[in-house]
Amino acid sequence: MDNREKSTWKRGFERSASKGKFVMAMDDLKTGDVRIFAKSGNTVRLIEREGEGWVVERTTGASAGKQMWCPSRSLVKSLDSE
Distance CA(29)–CA(35), nearest Å, equals: 9
**pLDDT value at position 73?**
92
Please count the residues of the chain: 82
Q: State which fold the 3-75 domain adopts.
A: SH3 type barrels. (2.30.30)
What pLDDT, in 10s, does the model give residues 9-61?
554 444 444 444 444 444 589 999 999 999 999 999 999 999 999 999 999 99
- Three-class secondary structure of residue 15 per DSSP: helix
Domain coordinates in residue numbering, the chain: 3-75
- Supply the pLDDT for residue 79: 85
Q: Residue 21: its pLDDT value, please?
A: 47
Q: For position 24, what pLDDT does the model report?
A: 46
pTM: 0.64
Which candidate, 8, 1, 2, 70, places its Cα nearest to that of 34? 70
Measuring CA to CA, how many Å separate 14 from each of 8, 26, 49, 57, 67? 10, 15, 16, 18, 17
